[in-house]
Amino acid sequence: MQRIAVIGGTGMTGQCVVDYALEKGLKIRLLYRTEPTIPERFKGKVQLVQGDVTNIDDVKRLIEGDGGVEGVCVILGTRNKLEATTELSRGTENVIKAMKEANLKKFSIVMSSFLLRSLNEVPAVFHKLNEEHRRMLDLTKASGLDYVAILPPHIADEPASGYTVVHDEAPGRLVSKEDLGKFIVDSLDQPEHYGKVCGIAKSA
User: pTM score, two decimals?
Assistant: 0.96
Domain count, the chain: 1
CATH number, position 70: 3.40.50.720
By three-state DSSP, how is residue 203 classified?
Answer: coil
Closest to 64 (Cα-Cα) out of 21, 29, 108: 29
Instruction: Check residue 54 and give its pLDDT.
Output: 96
State which residues form the domain around 42: 3-202
Encode the chain (204 residues) as per-residue pLDDT tens digits.
899 999 999 999 999 999 999 999 999 999 999 999 999 999 999 999 999 999 999 999 999 977 789 999 999 986 677 777 889 999 999 999 999 999 999 999 999 999 998 888 888 988 999 999 999 999 999 999 999 999 999 999 999 999 999 999 999 999 999 999 999 999 999 999 999 999 999 997
Q: Are 165 and 175 in contact (CB under 8 A)?
A: no
